[in-house]
Amino acid sequence: MKLKPTLILVVSITLFFSCTSPDKKARPETSTTTISKTSPDSLFTKYQLDRITLPAGFKISVFAEVPNARSMCWGAKGTLFIGNRDEDKVYAVKDTDNDGVADERYIISEKLNKPNGVAFRNGSLYVAEINRILRFDNIENKLESPPAYTVVYDKFPDKEHHGWKFIAFGPDDKLYVPVGAPCNVCDEKDSIYASITRMNPDGTGLEIFAKGIRNSVGFAWHPDTKEMWFTDNGRDNLGDDIPNCELNHAPRKGMHFGFPYCHEGDILDPEFGKGKNCADYTAPAQKMGPHVAPLGMRFYTGKMFPAEYQKQIFIAQHGSWNRTQPIGYRVMVAKLDSAGKVINYGPFAMGWLGENNKVTGRPVDVEIAPDGALLVSDDSRGAIYRISYNK
């Protein structure tokens, strides 16, 4: 491990209210901070990364400290953007000297409503709150003095239950936005619930892409087929061992993945499944284990990892909150064959759930860094880890 000191420079910005056009909102009133210097070794110790087990040749380190780090996306100029769920900010970090440790950190916006999702397109950062999509233009040239945001869309439901959103642009240049079920299990009349929607980048043309999805907090498109894959969190209160959380494959618009009628492809819901048939819905491509809480996922397209990981799916599992024996708290890999079937599903990074069920971290999202390292966000510790490979 390199012993270069880390310079975490937190840039101070103070911005003032400005009112321009009807869809331009107040600038963030962001203020101040600190400059701290922490060595990679002491960060490794602070986050107890000695507990983490990885396949041979891989190692883990701390890339950045970011409070309540949730979903991540890269800008075009090497900026990593990070959303919040339990806090109200959107952050950006940069590793300007390419040593695998972020050395600049910025607050892009604050006082937002669970800004969990971030996506980047043509120089603009898109942020998903509970009921709105916001856009920050030319953002990488304005990190120290972020612009006011433009409201792209503000008609999503305002219910908080499963209301925080992962977002991403698809190969069709549409912004994909999930709308979770506002409950543990329910059959809402408004068909926008329990769906993944998509819209044009300007907020027009909203349509439902897929239905029957309880709460997806992560999706990505296969680099060759351009088909969508997504994670979905199974319902609670059917016991410790059912239903499984799901990895799903949605190659076309209009598919229904079962919720709330059928869970994990083969379990009818005791209440909402009456008179239904699981064969009428699309079963998961992979059952991921009960209550594991799969969130972010990405296809590996970097150059750093061994060939066996190329175009395979890394999946962050946040971990169970109500299972007798906790499960999850790890990064998994699902491997696909050339026909797109999952042929292997197993652990990649483990150890955040330790002896006596001691939890030292909760993976939320994964992202491939420009150098091919795998970043893992952890909202519980406020950190982003970097998993790298050396032969």
The verdict on 148 binding Ca ion (CB under 5 A) reads no
The verdict on 95 binding Ca ion (CB under 5 A) reads yes
Stretch that binds Ca ion, among 31-39, 95-103, 204-212, 324-332 (CB under 5 A): 95-103
Among residue numbers 261 through 320, which ones bind Ca ion (CB under 5 A)?
Answer: none
Residue whose CB is less far from Ca ion, 64 or 327: 64
Tell me how far CA of residue 192 lies from CA of 55, 134, 214, in angstroms: 41, 20, 11
The 8 Å CB, 24+ separation contacts for 200-207 are 200/174, 200/175, 201/121, 201/122, 201/152, 201/169, 201/173, 201/174, 201/175, 202/152, 203/133, 203/152, 203/153, 205/174, 206/153, 206/155, 207/253
The verdict on 101 binding Ca ion (CB under 5 A) reads yes
Residue whose CB is less far from Ca ion, 162 or 386: 386
Residue whose CB is less far from Ca ion, 87 or 95: 95
**CA–CA gap between residue 350 and residue 331 (Å, rounded):** 7
**Contacts with Ca ion: how many residues (CB under 5 A)?**
5
Query: Which pair of tokens denotes residue 309?
Result: 């990981």
Stretch that binds Ca ion, among 21-29, 47-55, 92-100, 382-390 (CB under 5 A): 92-100
**CA–CA gap between residue 288 and residue 342 (Å, rounded):** 11
The verdict on 103 binding Ca ion (CB under 5 A) reads yes
Q: What is the three-state SS of 20-78?
A: CCCCECCCCCCCCCCEEEECHHHHHHHCCHHHCECCCCEEEEEEEECCCCCCEEECCCC
The verdict on 65 binding Ca ion (CB under 5 A) reads no
The verdict on 62 binding Ca ion (CB under 5 A) reads no
Residue whose CB is less far from Ca ion, 41 or 97: 97
Q: Are 374 and 52 in contact (CB under 8 A)?
A: no
Annotate 184-207 with b (16+ C-beta within 10 A) or e (fewer): ebbeeeeeebbbbbbbebebeebe
Residue whose CB is less far from Ca ion, 13 or 62: 62
Q: Please, what is the minimum distance in Å from the beta carbon of residue 59 to Ca ion?
A: 17
Phi then psi dihedrals of residue 37, to 5 deg: -130, 115
Phi then psi dihedrals of residue 148, to 5 deg: -65, 155
Q: Please, what is the minimum distance in Å from the beta carbon of residue 7 to Ca ion?
A: 8
Residue from 23, 86, 99, 271 touching Ca ion (CB under 5 A): that is: 99
Return the closest-CA partner of residue 83 out of 356, 335, 377, 360. 377
The verdict on 97 binding Ca ion (CB under 5 A) reads yes
Stretch that binds Ca ion, among 94-102, 184-192, 279-287, 303-311 (CB under 5 A): 94-102
Residue whose CB is less far from Ca ion, 292 or 368: 368
Residue whose CB is less far from Ca ion, 9 or 101: 101
Q: Please, what is the minimum distance in Å from the beta carbon of residue 40 to Ca ion?
A: 10
Return the closest-CA partner of residue 92 out of 78, 80, 101. 80
Q: Please, what is the minimum distance in Å from the beta carbon of residue 390 to Ca ion?
A: 18
The verdict on 371 binding Ca ion (CB under 5 A) reads no
Residue whose CB is less far from Ca ion, 101 or 262: 101
Stretch that binds Ca ion, among 87-95, 206-214, 232-240, 277-285 (CB under 5 A): 87-95
Residue whose CB is less far from Ca ion, 104 or 232: 104
| Binding residues vs Ca ion (CB under 5 A) | 95, 97, 99, 101, 103
